[in-house]
């Protein structure tokens, strides 16, 4: 077996010892008359020769095993060494600054860093730096080291090693034990429920992630008539906010309906008592409906056409095409839909044997019916053996018809709006696959897939949170979480929270933001990434310390940060121990908090009610002001009768409105204090027969007089006429 070759670099370390570098020579082989090297490997700087520990920029600190040529990462804390000059970057360089600065301030500001700390890892810097990379760069993990070297994140997380080999090992570390995921989700659910309105109404759905790498969890899956080799991801989101609560990876051939009851029980063990379930047709089967009824949970699902409950309701489908008074015609998102509400037995409580009554909302999408009918007729003509009239009639009867089952008694006009709240989970999948690297899957082990999915879940959670915050409809009417409701001040504009360093006052009402942020999370971060910085290394000749000078931020990026109570610094000073000192503008204050980040828009109906209530209060205030300005009648007759009716009407008198507080300033037409004193002194002198002093003439020409330029021409004309 060949031995490791060591070479002197000619440099000295901090202790004055020579720095050595190691090379694994591999083996030699003669091929086509030439000697070629097989397995030659550059090991890097020698850190511990006896234990074969080396350091290089690609693999970091590792232990080399000559028997199988493998490299195993070791903790840097156990081998402290100084990095030679030139390996840390001692040249002036430009950095991408805005995105990493925002995320670095956001996570501790909204207190989500405490949730991420529940992920047990010896590399927290790598965890945080990877989260930045997931959100700020669309590239594959193999390019993460290039991104990290030119990003401000390397100053926030200096111990993060983002080379591709290290990332795979990190995924495997956090994904090898499913208990790590459960502990993290328990903290995450607790965090979301305390930060929002404690709603335990959930939306559940699943999506497929294609992977043909031969991973054991991938299976041939047929979902919505599509066949793929994939694993599936189950997701649960909060209905009111669209924020994700739970995720789970399952094999690709597991059907959705088999997972609902187990997911619900898992959520209950994690502290989420499910009170309402909104799901697609894949989860609606008789056994699931009965289990939800037994658990006392409301639900709303689209019925699967293969079950008897749908077939019984479908017998009334002809009423939808020829509607009578029992059918309601509604318009939802510019589509005409006929809805028939049917009260029916939807399940049975197996413990008591009592039938559970609910409602089936049978719907016909009129436009879809006509479009599909035209397509059916065109396709029938092209068939070698066209369908008979009876077969055509049976096929047409099913077109555009669908049924929704629910335990809730809803008005027909509200059914579709309630059901299509499930698009929040579809939006999560869209964000995860397009902005948080859920797809494509480039992992070859179950453990690395599990670690990758955890990072993608956290990144997508932040995407949804940011989108909720930026898409405020009207900032004057913000939903206030129950967690902070008892801390709102009397003016209903600030929230006071007791922090470690004293009381923290948060502003609840923010200025409305531009529509530019409503496009996508990618557009949000691209605005921040346009703000860069220049890194200046230390230079003793001109007494320059390590620092980063920030570019002048543009308006959109500044508004983005202000929405979360943050501001860009002017420059950043880097101390010898690597800590950062931010130099802000004098008036800049950072108020990033959970209350501010989770402020979300109201629905259109809630917003309309809030505005109506504000208008009602405004009108009431005007009436009170008008009543306060009415002058009371002080005639003798009124005074005479007042004493007689005072006692008589005392018992029946209605409570009078409280007088409004006195406005600032003197009433119109009144005299000030000095004028009143002067007039009083003048009157007293006149009564005593004294001549009051002449009033001091004010500045300027007396009223009605004319200036010299106007009078001189007239005098000249009069003198000429006299001559």
User: What average pLDDT does this structure show over 499-515?
Assistant: 45
* Tens-digit pLDDT profile for residues 323-352: 888 899 999 888 899 999 999 999 887 778
> Parallel, antiparallel, or unpaired: how do β-strands 18-24 and 41-48 relate?
antiparallel
**Please, which residues bridge with residue 332 across strands?**
335
Contact predicate 464/428, CB 8 Å: yes
- Residue 89 falls in which region: left (phi positive, over 0), alpha (psi -120 to 50) or beta: left
* Tens-digit pLDDT profile for residues 43-90: 888 888 888 888 886 777 888 888 888 888 776 555 545 444 334 456
In percent, the amount of the chain with pLDDT more than 90 equals 30
More confident: 163 or 432: 432
Q: Give the mean pLDDT of the chain.
A: 80
**Which whole-number Å values give the CA distances from 258 to 244, 281, 286, 373, in the listed order?**
21, 13, 12, 34
pLDDT score of 490 more than 60: no
Burial string for 661-688 (b: 16+ CB within 10 Å, else e) reads eeeeeeeeeeeeeeeeeeeeeeeeeeee
Cα 651–Cα 656–Cα 662 angle in degrees, nearest 5 = 145
Would you state the pLDDT for residue 488? 58
Would you state the pLDDT for residue 606? 60
Would you state the pLDDT for residue 323? 86
User: What average pLDDT does this structure show over 94-116?
Assistant: 93
Q: How many CA atoms does the CB half-sphere of 8 hold within 13 Å? A: 5
More confident: 214 or 52: 52
Give the pLDDT band of residue 612 (cuts 50, 70, 90): confident
Nearest to 184, CA basis, from 136, 95, 116, 110: 116
Helix (H, G, I), strand (E, B) or coil at 155: helix
Would you state the pLDDT for residue 610? 67
pLDDT score of 296 more than 80: yes
Report pTM: 0.70
Would you state the pLDDT for residue 84? 41
Would you state the pLDDT for residue 116? 93
Contact predicate 406/358, CB 8 Å: yes
Query: Would you say how long the chain is, in residues?
Result: 723
* Tens-digit pLDDT profile for residues 671-711: 777 788 888 888 877 777 676 665 655 566 666 666 666 66
The DSSP-derived string for 675-691 is HHHHHHHHHHHHHTTPP
**Which whole-number Å values give the CA distances from 338 to 363, 369, 376, 401, in the listed order?**
6, 11, 21, 10
Q: CB-based burial of residue 100 (10 Å sphere; 0-12 exposed, 13-18 middle, 19+ buried)?
A: buried
Give start and end residues of each alpha helix (H) in 270-411: 286-295, 308-314, 318-321, 366-382, 389-398
pLDDT score of 534 more than 90: yes
pLDDT score of 104 more than 70: yes
Which two three-digit tokens encode residue 373?
Answer: 């009918």
Report the range out of 26-35, 99-108, 159-168 with the highest average pLDDT. 99-108
Would you state the pLDDT for residue 654? 44
228 membership: H or E segment, kind and range: strand 226-238
Euclidean distance between CA atoms 449 and 248, whole angstroms: 12
Euclidean distance between CA atoms 679 and 685, whole angstroms: 10
More confident: 631 or 512: 631
* Tens-digit pLDDT profile for residues 654-672: 444 455 555 556 666 667 7
Q: What is the separation, in whole angstroms, between the first and last Cα of the chain? A: 139
Contact predicate 547/572, CB 8 Å: yes
User: What average pLDDT does this structure show over 606-622?
Assistant: 75
Give the pLDDT band of residue 195 (cuts 50, 70, 90): confident
> Parallel, antiparallel, or unpaired: how do β-strands 571-574 and 580-583 relate?
antiparallel
Euclidean distance between CA atoms 552 and 530, whole angstroms: 10
Would you state the pLDDT for residue 28? 79
* Tens-digit pLDDT profile for residues 142-194: 888 889 989 999 999 988 888 777 788 889 899 988 999 999 999 999 999 98
Would you state the pLDDT for residue 662? 53
More confident: 721 or 625: 625
pLDDT score of 452 more than 80: yes
**Which whole-number Å values give the CA distances from 418 to 284, 336, 347, 561, 576, in the listed order?**
17, 17, 21, 33, 57
Would you state the pLDDT for residue 493? 53
DSSP-assigned letter for residue 559: H
């Amino acid at each position: 077996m060949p031995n490791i070759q060591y070479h002197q670099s000619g440099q000295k370390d901090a202790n004055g010892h020579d720095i050595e570098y190691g090379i694994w020579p591999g083996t030699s082989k003669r091929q086509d008359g030439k000697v070629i090297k097989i397995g030659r490997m550059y090991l890097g700087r020698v850190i511990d020769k006896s234990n074969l520990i080396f350091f290089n920029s690609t693999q970091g600190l590792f232990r080399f095993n000559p028997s199988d040529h493998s490299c195993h990462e070791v903790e840097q804390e156990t081998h402290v060494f100084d990095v030679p000059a030139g390996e840390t970057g001692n040249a002036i360089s430009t950095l991408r600054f805005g995105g990493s600065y925002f995320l670095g301030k956001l996570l501790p500001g909204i207190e989500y860093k405490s949730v991420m700390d529940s992920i047990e890892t010896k590399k927290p810097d790598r965890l945080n730096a990877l989260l930045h990379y997931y959100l700020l760069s669309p590239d594959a993990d193999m390019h993460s080291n290039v991104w990290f070297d030119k990003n401000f994140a390397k100053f926030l997380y200096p111990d993060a090693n983002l080379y591709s080999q290290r990332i795979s090992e990190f995924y495997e570390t956090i994904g090898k034990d499913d208990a790590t995921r459960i502990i993290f989700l328990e903290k995450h659910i607790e965090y979301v429920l305390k930060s929002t309105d404690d709603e335990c109404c959930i939306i559940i759905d699943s999506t497929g992630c294609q992977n043909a790498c031969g991973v054991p969890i991938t299976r041939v899956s047929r979902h919505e008539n599509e066949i793929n080799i994939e694993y599936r991801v189950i997701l649960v989101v909060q209905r009111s906010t669209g924020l994700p609560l739970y995720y789970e990876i399952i094999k690709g051939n597991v059907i959705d309906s088999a997972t609902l009851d187990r997911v619900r029980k898992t959520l209950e063990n994690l502290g989420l008592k499910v009170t309402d379930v909104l799901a697609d047709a894949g989860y609606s089967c008789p056994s699931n409906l009965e289990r939800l009824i037994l658990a006392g949970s409301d639900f709303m699902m689209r019925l699967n056409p293969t079950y008897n409950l749908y077939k019984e309701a479908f017998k009334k489908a002809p009423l939808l095409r020829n509607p009578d008074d029992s059918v309601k015609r509604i318009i939802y998102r510019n589509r005409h839909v006929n809805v028939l509400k049917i009260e029916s037995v939807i399940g049975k409580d197996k413990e008591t044997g009592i039938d559970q009554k609910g409602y089936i909302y049978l719907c016909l999408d009129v436009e879809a019916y006509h479009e599909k009918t035209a397509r059916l007729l065109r396709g029938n003509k092209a068939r070698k053996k066209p369908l008979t009239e009876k077969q055509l009639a049976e096929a047409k009867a099913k077109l555009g018809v669908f049924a929704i089952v629910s335990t809730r008694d809803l008005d027909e006009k509200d059914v579709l709006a309630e059901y299509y709240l499930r698009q929040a989970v579809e939006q999560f999948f869209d964000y995860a696959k397009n902005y948080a690297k859920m797809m494509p899957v480039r992992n070859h082990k179950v453990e690395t897939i599990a670690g990758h999915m955890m990072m993608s879940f956290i990144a997508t959670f932040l995407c949804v949170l940011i989108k909720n915050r930026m898409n405020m409809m009207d900032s004057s009417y913000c939903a206030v979480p129950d967690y902070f409701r008892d801390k709102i001040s009397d003016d209903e504009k600030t929230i006071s929270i007791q922090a470690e360093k004293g009381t923290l006052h948060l502003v609840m009402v923010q200025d409305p933001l531009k529509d530019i942020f409503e496009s996508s999370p990618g557009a949000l971060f691209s605005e921040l990434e346009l703000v860069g910085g220049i890194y200046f290394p230390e230079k003793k000749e001109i007494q320059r310390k390590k620092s980063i000078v920030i570019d002048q931020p543009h308006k959109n990026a500044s508004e983005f940060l202000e929405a979360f109570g943050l501001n860009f610094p002017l420059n950043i000073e880097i101390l010898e121990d690597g800590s950062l000192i931010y130099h802000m503008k004098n008036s800049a204050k950072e108020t990033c908090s959970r209350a501010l980040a989770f402020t979300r828009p109201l629905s259109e109906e809630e917003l309309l009610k809030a505005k109506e209530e504000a208008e009602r209060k405004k009108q009431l205030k005007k009436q009170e002001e008008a009543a306060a300005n009415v002058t009371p009648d002080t005639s003798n007759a009124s005074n005479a009768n007042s004493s007689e009716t005072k006692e008589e009407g005392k018992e029946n008198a209605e409570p009078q409105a409280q007088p409004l507080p006195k406005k600032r300033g003197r009433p119109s037409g009144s005299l000030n204090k000095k004028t009143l004193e002067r007039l009083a002194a003048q009157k007293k002198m006149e009564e005593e027969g004294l001549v009051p002093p002449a009033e001091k003439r004010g500045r300027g020409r007396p009223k009605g007089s004319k200036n010299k330029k106007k009078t001189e021409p007239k005098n000249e004309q009069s003198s000429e006429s006299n001559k």
